[in-house]
């Protein structure tokens, strides 16, 4: 293993008058890639501050190798008036940094993160601010790089770039992230903060789930053995002892103290392994369409450039009851616009969006607009003056319901404004999931969540039987929660995929291979210069609407209806999770036919539009 550059030994850390860590011990070696995991409130930010030296330890020893430089991605940025992105990113660099080095880092770091160096920091969105903070941390090239949720507000292309960049980073990395795939691809060890202690795994996050479960299983066995011994002691004590025999009196006291401590430890263990359990919603089983986009077009004018940006163009889609669709794409590619068209917040420029009249939406907004920061958690969740709320038809006390989302009972009377970003997201989820409607939309729900809450959210969504849309860049989360994808590529290009993110990767790889083969084939078939048509050749006359073409146009609606029905039927069959296990041959057959049927349908629709245009031109 590489050289030791930072060490903390047997440290105590007190926060707010209470011990947060006791006997904290860990070591960071040069080049290590460490995942830091733990529930919100477990002390991840405090630990990072101990590493940087911004938080003093209250006992023990902290040692840092002389000359070691520690960099920290800022979670929150307060921009200075008149400061450009370039000024901010390089403000942590030495003043004598050469221009060529700055330009190199602009090309290697700032531009791949989608930032313009001349933009003013004051005008950046929250997501752009975080990218600027990330860029600043990366260009400093420290010996130890601390990253706090670096993938929040990044699209998948940038996340994959960041993974590659960090794999080649020579220094040590300690990273807090809810993105399991990111951590699995990057890290080679794990620091797990669990109930005031640090547990260290010598393997990367890819193996964390099994490793942590083995530890918890071992703890459960130890608790059971303790319980047996404590019960034996209590049984002896309850038989009665001679009061004047001091050793017997002391034994009784010890037995009762052990019983109290056991109950505390069992309670702490239960909280670690607890899951949110909600009854499934009552939704009418139906395969009917509940929403439809027909030839929808939507565009906006860029305020900076004045250029028109196409979001959707002749977009068609049917949404069926029970669909579980993940929505991916670059920032600004149209994901949020699509959702606002669906929910009626925007009107299309062209075409129509039709939603079933009785359909109700529950919307998790990443900006948490439904939370009132000046109200307490109780006031945000309960009706005015009440301390109970309706959770899927059952009345729950606010304190008990908050515990499902890893809050303490006394948090009920805290103002929402005092919560961290992750805690506010948990509160927003508690609000939305208390009584979700038939159509649930979650816009970046995983931002700032710890992994325990993420596991709970996955469990709740797997039990949800309504129609589910999830906007997310979290690949592992999408793999576990959706069975279809809408991928917004930008410039009004939207790709529909049956399957989850892993299926999309396979599809994308195959599509790339097919495109390469087509390019090679076209290059071979390309005419020689002498065979090319002269530039001044007369333009072809428009094709006339012959009887044969008219007949073809008349037959197309019936063929289209037949193909649409086949595509809908295949889609419904493939969406059934039991099909693969119960009838793998049919699954393979439908999987092969489905993309072909989709392609045939698209070709027929294009032909219908072409002939219809010719008919109108002939009549005009």
pLDDT tens digit sequence for 162-189: 898 899 888 999 999 888 889 999 999 9
CATH class of 289-503: alpha beta
For the chain, domain boundaries:
4-210, 220-273, 289-503, 543-620
How many Å apart are CA 184 and CA 33, to the nearest integer?
11
Could you report the per-residue pLDDT of 390-428, keeping only the tens digit for each?
887 889 999 988 888 888 888 999 998 888 877 888 888
Question: Which of 75, 74, 102 lies closest to 87, judged by CA?
Answer: 102
**Residue 296, beta-bridge partner list:** 315
Q: How far is CA 165 from the centre of its chain?
A: 20
279 pLDDT higher than 50: no
pLDDT computed for residue 246 by the predictor: 52
**Mean pLDDT, residues 377-385 taken together:** 90
Is residue 284 very low, low, confident or very high in pLDDT (cuts 50, 70, 90)? very low
440 pLDDT higher than 60: yes
- Counting residues of the chain whose pLDDT is more than 90, the rounded percentage is 13
How many Å apart are CA 319 and CA 359, to the nearest integer?
12
Could you report the per-residue pLDDT of 240-278, keeping only the tens digit for each?
555 445 556 666 666 667 667 767 666 665 655 554 444
pLDDT computed for residue 234 by the predictor: 67
H or E element, residue 554: helix 547-574
* Verdict on whether the full-model pTM lies above 0.75: no
Same fold across 4-210 and 289-503: yes
The DSSP-derived string for 165-221 is: HHHT--SEEEEE-S-HHHHHHH-SEEEEEETTEEEEESS-GGGHHHHHHHHHHHHHH
CATH code, residues 4-210: 3.40.50.300
Residue identified by tokens 């097919």 is 514
Q: Are strands 484-490 and 493-498 parallel, antiparallel or unpaired?
A: antiparallel
The most distant pair of C-alpha atoms in the chain lies apart, rounded to whole Å, by 120
Give the CATH architecture of domain 543-620.
Orthogonal Bundle (1.10)
- Whether residue 63 contacts residue 4, with contact meaning beta carbons closer than 8 Å, is answered with no
Could you report the per-residue pLDDT of 515-544, keeping only the tens digit for each?
777 777 766 666 555 445 444 444 445 556
Is residue 281 very low, low, confident or very high in pLDDT (cuts 50, 70, 90)? very low
Could you report the per-residue pLDDT of 556-612, keeping only the tens digit for each?
888 888 888 888 888 777 766 566 556 767 766 777 787 778 778 878 877 787 777
């Amino acid at each position: 293993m590489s050289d030791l550059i930072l060490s903390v030994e047997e440290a105590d850390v007190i926060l707010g008058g209470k011990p947060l860590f006791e006997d904290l011990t860990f070591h960071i070696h040069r080049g290590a890639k460490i995942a830091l995991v733990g529930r919100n409130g477990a002390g991840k930010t405090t630990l990072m501050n101990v590493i940087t030296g911004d938080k003093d330890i209250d006992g023990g020893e902290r040692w840092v190798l002389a000359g070691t430089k520690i960099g920290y991605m800022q979670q929150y940025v307060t921009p200075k008036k008149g400061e450009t992105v370039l000024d901010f990113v390089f403000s942590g660099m030495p003043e004598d940094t050469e221009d060529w080095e700055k330009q190199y880092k602009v090309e290697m770091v700032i531009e791949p993160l989608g930032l313009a160096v001349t933009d003013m920091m004051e005008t950046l969105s929250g997501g752009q601010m975080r990218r600027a903070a990330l860029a600043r941390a990366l260009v400093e090239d420290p010996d130890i790089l601390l990253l706090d949720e670096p993938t929040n507000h990044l699209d998948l292309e940038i996340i994959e770039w960041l993974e590659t960049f960090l794999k080649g980073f020579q220094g040590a990395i300690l990273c807090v992230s809810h993105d399991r795939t990111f951590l699995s691809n990057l890290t080679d060890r794990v620091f797990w903060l669990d109930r005031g202690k640090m547990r260290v795994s010598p393997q990367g996050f890819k193996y964390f789930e099994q490793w942590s479960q083995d530890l918890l299983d071992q703890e459960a066995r130890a608790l059971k053995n303790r319980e047996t011994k404590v019960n034996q002691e209590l049984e002896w004590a309850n038989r009665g002892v001679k009061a004047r025999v001091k050793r017997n009196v002391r034994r009784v006291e010890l037995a009762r103290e052990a019983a109290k401590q056991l109950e505390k430890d069992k309670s702490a263990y239960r909280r670690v392994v607890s899951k949110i359990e909600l009854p499934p919603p009552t939704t009418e089983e139906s395969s009917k369409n509940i929403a439809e986009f027909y030839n929808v077009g939507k565009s906006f004018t860029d305020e900076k450039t004045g250029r028109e940006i196409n979001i959707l163009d002749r977009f068609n889609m049917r949404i069926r009851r029970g669909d579980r669709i993940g929505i991916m794409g670059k920032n600004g590619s149209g994901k949020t616009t699509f959702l606002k068209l669906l929910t009626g917040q925007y009107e299309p420029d062209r075409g129509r969006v039709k939603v079933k009249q009785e359909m109700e939406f529950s919307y998790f907004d990443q900006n948490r607009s439904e939370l009132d920061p000046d109200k307490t958690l109780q006031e945000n969740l309960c009706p005015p003056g009440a301390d109970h709320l309706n959770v899927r038809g059952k009345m729950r006390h606010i304190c008990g319901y908050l515990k499902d989302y890893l809050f303490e009972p006394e948090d009920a009377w805290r103002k929402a404004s005092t919560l961290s970003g992750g805690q506010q997201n948990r509160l927003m989820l508690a609000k939305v999931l208390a009584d979700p409607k038939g159509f649930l939309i979650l816009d970046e729900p995983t931002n700032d969540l710890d992994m325990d809450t993420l596991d709970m959210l996955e469990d709740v969504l797997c039990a949800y039987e309504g129609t589910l849309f999830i906007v997310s860049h979290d690949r592992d989360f999408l793999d576990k929660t959706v069975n279809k994808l809408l991928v917004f590529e930008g410039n009004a290009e939207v790709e529909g995929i049956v399957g989850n993110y892993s299926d999309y990767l396979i599809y994308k790889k195959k599509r790339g291979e097919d495109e390469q083969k087509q390019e090679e084939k076209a290059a071979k078939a390309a005419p020689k210069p002498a065979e090319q048509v002269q530039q001044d050749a007369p333009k072809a006359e428009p094709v006339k609407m012959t009887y044969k073409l008219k007949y073809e146009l008349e037959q197309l609606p019936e063929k289209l209806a037949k193909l649409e029905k086949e595509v809908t039927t295949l889609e419904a069959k493939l969406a059934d999770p039991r099909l693969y296990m119960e009838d793998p041959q049919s699954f393979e057959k439908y999987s092969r036919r489905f993309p072909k049927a989709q392609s045939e349908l698209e070709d027929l629709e294009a032909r219908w539009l072409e002939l219809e245009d010719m008919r109108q031109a002939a009549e005009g």
